[in-house]
C-alpha cells in the first residue's frame, strides 16, 4: 500500500505529464485549425462528431460544448454508423472524426463510407501518418509522447489532448460568433448555472415585503417592523424617499452603546447611503454586490423607487450560491 505522500506525488506527476502534453499540442495549432474555424462559421449544416471507445466519449463532450456555445453539433458513434446511423449526415454537414491511432478497425471500415458522402472531413488524430489522417481534408494534431497510465496503455493524456482541442475549437467559434452570456443563458435555463444567467432580482425579492419606517418612528415600532417581515432589515423613508436602512446588526450595536433606548428614534441608528439594486438586474449581481460590501441585504428599487429587500438567504434558496 502506497503512503499518502507517494499518492500525492503520483497525482502531481500525472497532472504535470498531461499539462506538458497540452503545451506540446498547443505548439501544433496550424493553418488547418484556422481553416476549420472558418469552415464551421460558414457551415450551412451541422458538425457531426464521431469516434470509438474513449474517443467517442470525448466526441460526445465536444458535441455538448459546441451546442451550448452556439454551434449545432451531433454525435454519431463510429460502430453504429455503418448500421444505419450514416443517415444522420446531411449534405451540408461537416464531419469530425476523433481517434488516437487513426488506424482502429472501426475507423478503417467507416472512413470509405464517409468519403462517399462527399462531406468535408476533419481528423482530430494522434498519428499524423495514420489512415484517418491521410483520408481527411483537415488534420488537427493531438499526438502525445505517452499516456499517463503507467503501462502507457489506458487513454489518459491522449483523451485530455482531444478534449482540449475540442475546447479550443468551441471557444474560437464562440468568440468569432460574439456569443454573449445572454446567448449562453438561452441554452442553460436549468440548474444553478442557468439561474445565474437569467434570474433577476425582482424574481427573487418578495414584492409584498417592503418593510419601511419613518425617521421619527420609535425603536419599538422599528423592531416590530423588522420582525414582522423577517428580512433582517427595513428601509427608512421620508416622504417615500429612501434615506437609510436599519438592520439587525444596527439594533445590536445600538443595544451595546445605549442603556436607555426609550428616547431613540429610527433616524438615530440608521445607516445612510444604503446599498441598492434595480429589480431588473441579475440576481447574481446582487450576490456580487453583497460580497463586495460584506452585507446580507440590499434594498431593491424599481425605476429608482423602493420596491423591497433582497436577502442573502433568498439567493441561497434559489441556488445562486
Could you tell me which residues are annotated as the binding site for Zn(2+)?
77
For CA atoms 164, 165, 170, 172, give the dihedral sign. positive
Please state the residue numbers annotated as binding site. Answer: 77
Angstrom distance (rounded) from CA 65 to CA 167: 7
Cβ distance 81 to 89 under 8 Å? Answer: no
Residue of 270, 263, 274, 267 whose CA lies nearest to 216: 267
Residue of 294, 270, 285 whose CA lies nearest to 205: 285
Residue of 72, 77, 67, 76 whose CA lies nearest to 45: 72
Angstrom distance (rounded) from CA 95 to CA 121: 5
Angstrom distance (rounded) from CA 234 to CA 318: 22
Cα dihedral 52, 57, 61, 67 in deg (nearest 10): 50
For residue 69, CA distances in Å to 47, 94, 167, 188 come to 13, 17, 11, 10
Cell of 312: 442573502
Write the DSSP string, 240-274. Answer: TEEEEEEEHHHHHHHHHH-S--TT-BHHHHPBSS-
Residue of 140, 81, 87, 142 whose CA lies nearest to 112: 81
Angstrom distance (rounded) from CA 114 to CA 8: 45
Residues 6+ apart with CB under 8 A from 283: 195, 196, 199, 200, 201, 203, 204, 310, 315, 318, 320
Amino acid at each position: 500500500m502506497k503512503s499518502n505522500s507517494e499518492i500525492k506525488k503520483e497525482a502531481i506527476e500525472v497532472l504535470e505529464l498531461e499539462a506538458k502534453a497540452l503545451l506540446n499540442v498547443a505548439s501544433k495549432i496550424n493553418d488547418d485549425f484556422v481553416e476549420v474555424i472558418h469552415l464551421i462559421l460558414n457551415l450551412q449544416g451541422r458538425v457531426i462528431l464521431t469516434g470509438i471507445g474513449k474517443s467517442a466519449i470525448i466526441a460526445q463532450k465536444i458535441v455538448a460544448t459546441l451546442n451550448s456555445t452556439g454551434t449545432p453539433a451531433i454525435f454519431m458513434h463510429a460502430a453504429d454508423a455503418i448500421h444505419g446511423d450514416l443517415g444522420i449526415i446531411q449534405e451540408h454537414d461537416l464531419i469530425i472524426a476523433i481517434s488516437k491511432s487513426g488506424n482502429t478497425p472501426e475507423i478503417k471500415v467507416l472512413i470509405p463510407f464517409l468519403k462517399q458522402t462527399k462531406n468535408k472531413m476533419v481528423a482530430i488524430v494522434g498519428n499524423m501518418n495514420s489512415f484517418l489522417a491521410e483520408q481527411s481534408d483537415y488534420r488537427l494534431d493531438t499526438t502525445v509522447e505517452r499516456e499517463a497510465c503507467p503501462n502507457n496503455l489506458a487513454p489518459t493524456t491522449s483523451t485530455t489532448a482531444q478534449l482540449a482541442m475540442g475546447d479550443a475549437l468551441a471557444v474560437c467559434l464562440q468568440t468569432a460568433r460574439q456569443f454573449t452570456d445572454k446567448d449562453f443563458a438561452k441554452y442553460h435555463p436549468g440548474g444553478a448555472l442557468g439561474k445565474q444567467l437569467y434570474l433577476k432580482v425582482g424574481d427573487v425579492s418578495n414584492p409584498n415585503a417592503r418593510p419601511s419606517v419613518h425617521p421619527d418612528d420609535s425603536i419599538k415600532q422599528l423592531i416590530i417592523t423588522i420582525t414582522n417581515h423577517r428580512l433582517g432589515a427595513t428601509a427608512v423613508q421620508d416622504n417615500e424617499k429612501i434615506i437609510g436602512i436599519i438592520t439587525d446588526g444596527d439594533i445590536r450595536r445600538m443595544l451595546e452603546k445605549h442603556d436607555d433606548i426609550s428616547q431613540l428614534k429610527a433616524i438615530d441608528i440608521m445607516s445612510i447611503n444604503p446599498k441598492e439594486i434595480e429589480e431588473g438586474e441579475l440576481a447574481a449581481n446582487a450576490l456580487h454586490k453583497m460580497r463586495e460590501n460584506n452585507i446580507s441585504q440590499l434594498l431593491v428599487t424599481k425605476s429608482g423607487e423602493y420596491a423591497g429587500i433582497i436577502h442573502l438567504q433568498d439567493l441561497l434558496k434559489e441556488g445562486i450560491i
